[in-house]
Structure 1
Amino acid sequence: MDREITSQLKDKVALVAGGTRGASRAIAVELGRAGATVYVTGRSGAGEQSEIGRQESIDGTVGLIEAAGGTAHAVRVDHLVPEEVRQLAERVDAEQGRLDILVDGVWGADFAMEWDTPVWEHSLEASLRMIRSGIESHVITSHFLLPLVIRQPGGLVVDMTDGTAEYNQHYRTGTTLAFYLAKAASHPLAIAQAAETEPYGTTAVAVTPGWLRSEAMLDHYGVTEATWRDALTRVPHFAISESPTFVGRGVVALASDPDRRRFSGQTLNSGQLARIYDIDDVDGSRPDAWRYVTEVEAQGKPADTTGYR
């Protein structure tokens, strides 16, 4: 499949909230590569270190989009501050008069997680921060930006999450209550958005990548995208991992599908999108991470991706 700049989404306007790094950054890049004008928002501008101590920035994402041949704008916004999101909506309206694609990937609260800690021992401040980042910010963003999306029929809303609806029905061992709530909330959020925007011809879905080789994950394992397989000696199941570009390509395919409303209210995952739209990851493989996690890793079986990528 040709990965040069295309005109799939020419004349479309997209906004990726929380597009600083990870899956959201890759989605922003792929939307730009497909011809959309992309607004990238987040709290980390050029030369600033994020709250979690990382150097990625919204300006860096814009640079990647421009390098891919796309057009983009970086707008520094804290999506937990309603006035800043209101001003963002006003700017997009004034400059474009429309918003065709809204991707809400706001999170940035990994630093607040205390693993293997029950709610009564977990920092209350940190727990509430995860709830605010994973739920409150998405409600604020929807309140101010959905009026632009529904202005014209055919809009698309994507709420990024971590885990399928089926997988997130169960509490994840090792996490904590607030993290579980923050991630599981994306599924009913998409259902509610789908119902409320249905009269306007809008599609609303939740989307999850699989085991993501994000910048932070690669650093955690001491590898790069080129050398990620070196981590398999320590973490064998990392063999099912995927690049952020994989889910980015999936979201572009969804946004380009004239019949995408059939998915409204659902949670879609990167492997599922790959099957539907015939998409490969950057290495030519097609990882089906959540099926693997459920059928292999969760069952205590040895790492073996045969039939899963």
Structure 2
Amino acid sequence: MTTQKNETNGPRSLRGRICLVAGATRGAGRGIAVQLGAAGATVYVTGRTTRERTSEVGRSTETIEETAELVTAAGGEGIAVPTDHLEVAQVRALVDRIDRERGRLDVLVNDVWGGEHLVVAGFGKKIWEVGLADGLRMLELGVKTHLITSAAAVPLLLRHPGGLLIEITDGTQEYNATRYRENVFYDLAKNAPIRMAFGLGKELAEAGGTAVALTPGWLRSEQMLDHFGVTEENWRDAAEKLPDFAVAESPVYVGRAVAALAADPDRARWNGRSLSSGQMAREYGFSDADGSRPDAWGFIIAKETDEAASVDDYR
């Protein structure tokens, strides 16, 4: 087994690779797209919020055009394609465009979500207390979009051996298997990608492809920073009010996890598995933007049985 331990994979390690990050407007998707660009990849970035139109998430300040520009500035080539991944025709048109322009797809990242506002409204509620329309919308955004995108894009992904499909979710299989996540709709929405990666791993392996589920830890997304009233520059101020927030990670971290997986010639050893950014950091030797190496899921699990567990031991 070949294990990469270098801090970075080099600025050109993914030069010539064609990637699609579905759901790259903000958060993990943007971080992933930019880090793929930093490794030299061409990255198609999709989402519903553009400089002309804002999605139901209601955050007009983050757009796919901006993400594409950040990818290019990082050293890759960013291409923004407005796409609603619930619309089959739009997704097929996206894949046809990638095929027409590049003739291949090497990495597919399914990061479509955009349901945070629905989770907040249904936090801790029973199935009969959550608005049914809101609950079903969570499943559309977090599950149906991923299925549509994979069905349309996997044939192109498998045209050349070694295609990599990454399902982004919230929580590892180990954690989610024995814990109930907020409400039944959110629980299903975030467990489904883990199972999808397992099943698609079986299907892709026959053609030399790899599928994995990957979760960030406590992500300092734009929305999370706004929630705490901090920025990426002073985010540690939030830990003064909520000490556990000190284990949070930036989107750069999960982005580097994806770039490391994409550059690993032995990535098939992960096929079908559930992975975390902290686990991948230990495996591949990369760090977060501030040089730390947080393990949020390790800390969260430890804190359940040991109230004295220290963030310092998991960063």
Structure 2 residue aligned with 1:191: 198
Give the Å deviation of 1:300. Answer: 5.8
Matched, 1:143 2:167: no
Give the Å deviation of 1:50. Answer: 3.0
SS of the counterpart of 1:307? helix
Deviation track 1:14-42 (CA, whole Å, cap 9, x = no partner) reads 00000011011100000011111000011
Give the Å deviation of 1:4. Answer: 10
Deviation track 1:234-283 (CA, whole Å, cap 9, x = no partner) reads 21100111111011111101110000000000011001000000011111
Structure 2 residue aligned with 1:14: 19
Give the Å deviation of 1:170. Answer: 2.7
Give the Å deviation of 1:47. Answer: 4.3
- Contact between 1:211 and 1:289, CA under 8 Å: does it hold in 2? yes
Q: Structure 2 unaligned runs (5+)?
A: 1-5
- Contact between 2:28 and 2:251, CA under 8 Å: does it hold in 1? yes
SS of the counterpart of 1:301? coil
- Work out which of the residue numbers 265, 281, 294 in structure 2 matches 1:287: 294
- Contact between 1:236 and 1:303, CA under 8 Å: does it hold in 2? no
Matched, 1:74 2:80: yes
Structure 1 residue aligned with 2:162: 154
Q: Which amino acid aligns with 1:261?
A: A
Give the Å deviation of 1:307. Answer: 2.1
Structure 2 residue aligned with 1:253: 260
- Contact between 1:239 and 1:303, CA under 8 Å: does it hold in 2? no
Deviation track 1:84-143 (CA, whole Å, cap 9, x = no partner) reads 101111111100100000001000011222112101111000000011111111110011
Give the Å deviation of 1:66. Answer: 1.7
- Work out which of the residue numbers 39, 57, 79 in structure 1 matches 2:63: 57
Alignment of 1:194-205 (within 5 A): 194-205=201-212
Matched, 1:127 2:135: yes
Matched, 1:117 2:135: no
- Contact between 2:7 and 2:287, CA under 8 Å: does it hold in 1? no
Count of matched residue pairs:
307
Structure 2 residue aligned with 1:98: 104
Q: Distance in 2 between matches of 1:53 and 1:16?
A: 21
SS of the counterpart of 1:51? coil
Larger RCO (alpha carbons 8 Å, 6+ apart)? 2
Q: CA RMSD in A?
A: 1.5
Q: Distance in 2 between matches of 1:245 and 1:185?
A: 24
SS of the counterpart of 2:173? coil
Q: Distance in 2 between matches of 1:74 and 1:208?
A: 24
Runs of 4+ in 1 over 2 A off after TM superposition: 1-5, 47-50, 170-173
Q: Distance in 2 between matches of 1:302 and 1:49?
A: 43
- Contact between 1:9 and 1:34, CA under 8 Å: does it hold in 2? yes
Give the Å deviation of 1:301. Answer: 1.1
Q: Distance in 2 between matches of 1:148 and 1:308?
A: 39
Q: Which amino acid aligns with 1:13?
A: I
Give the Å deviation of 1:231. Answer: 0.5
Identity %, equivalent residues: 49
Matched, 1:35 2:40: yes
Give the Å deviation of 1:193. Answer: 0.6
Q: Distance in 2 between matches of 1:4 and 1:102?
A: 19
- Contact between 2:115 and 2:141, CA under 8 Å: does it hold in 1? yes
Give TM-score scaled by structure 2 length. 0.94
Give TM-score scaled by structure 1 length. 0.96
